[in-house]
Structure 1
Amino acid sequence: MVTENTHELETELVEEGEEYLSRSEKKRRSTAIQKIGEELASFPISAIRSFNLPPDLLQEYEELHSITKHEAKRRKMQYIGKMLRDVDIEPIRARIEEVKEGKAAQSADFHHLERLRDRLLQGDKEAMNFIVESYPDVDIQKLRQLVRNAKKEIEKQKPLKSSKLLFRFLRELEQS
C-alpha cells in the first residue's frame, strides 16, 4: 500500500512538470556541490572575490579563511555547501576550471623555460639557435654573457645569481 502511494506521488510530480529526484540522487547532487565549495575554498580570498559570488556567500568564505579550528571549518563548509544549493553552480564550476587550466599552462611554460635554460648552460648550440630564430629582437650579446656568467658560477659553486637572471631574461623574451 505504501509503495502504491509513493508511486502515485511520483507520477503526480512528473505530470506537474517537476523532476522527481530520489533521496540518493539528492545526496549525490549535494555532495557534488559540497566538493565544488571545497575547491573554491582552496583558493585565496582575493581569487574568490573574482568569482562574482553573492555577497552573503562571499562573506561566509571570508569568515572561513579566518577560522583555525578543524571542526569549526567543517561546520562552516557544510553551511557554505547548503548556501551553494541556491546558487547557479555552473558559472562557478567553469571559472574553477579556467583557473586550473591557467595554472597548468603557467607551470608548463615555467618548465619549458627551465629546460631551455639548462640546455643553454650545457652548451647546446641548437637551443641558442632556437632562441635567435624565435625571437629576432633578442640581445644576443646579453644572452651569451648571462650564459657565460652562469656557467662560471656553477663551476665555482657560487650562488646562482646569473642563472636566475638568465631565467628572467628568457621569461621576458617569452612574454614579449
Structure 2
Amino acid sequence: MSVPIIIDFEASGFGQGSYPIEVGFSGRHGEGWCSLIRPEDEWLHWDQEAARMHGIPREVLIERGNTAQFVAEQLNFFLSGRTVYTDGWGQDYVWMARLFDAADMTPKFKLIDLFEIIEESQLPQWESTKDQITKELCVARHRASSDARVLQLTWLRTYDEAKKQTV
C-alpha cells in the first residue's frame, strides 16, 4: 500500500446551505497544498461557531479567497487520475461537489472514505496516535492542510505499528 493522499475541506458550517471555505491536501511525499475559497454570490450560509473553530472570518474569504474555478482547476491539476481519501466522506463529498458545480467542472480524481483503507489492527491506536501527532506538529487550529497532514501521518504510523505486530 502506498502512502494515501489525504484531502480535507473546511466549511461555512454543517447542514444544508453550507459550502466549502478552504480545501487542502497532503500528497504522497508529505507535500501540501491549501487554498481559501471565495464564497459564490449565492453561498450565504455562515455559522459563527465554524468561523471560530477555523479562525477564518468571512471577510477574509472574500478578500483573499480564490475563485471556485481556480481552486477546482488546481485540484484537478495536482490530483488528476489519483485516488484521494477523506475522513469525512459524507460532508467532504458534498462540499467538493458544491465547489466543482460552482466552477462548472468535474473532478478528475476519485474521492474515497479513508476508513476503507484503515485496517482493523490500526483502530485501537488511531485516536491516541492522532492526538500525539497533533501535538508534535503543534496544530492549534482546525485547518484543511494541517488536518490532512495529521490524518496522513496517523494512517502511516498506525499502519506501520500494525504491520510490526504481525511480523
**TM-score normalised by the chain length of structure 1:** 0.24
More RCO (CA 8 Å, sep 6+): 2
Bigger proportion of residues as helix: 1
Bigger proportion of residues as strand: 2
**TM-score normalised by the chain length of structure 2:** 0.24
| Higher Rg | 1
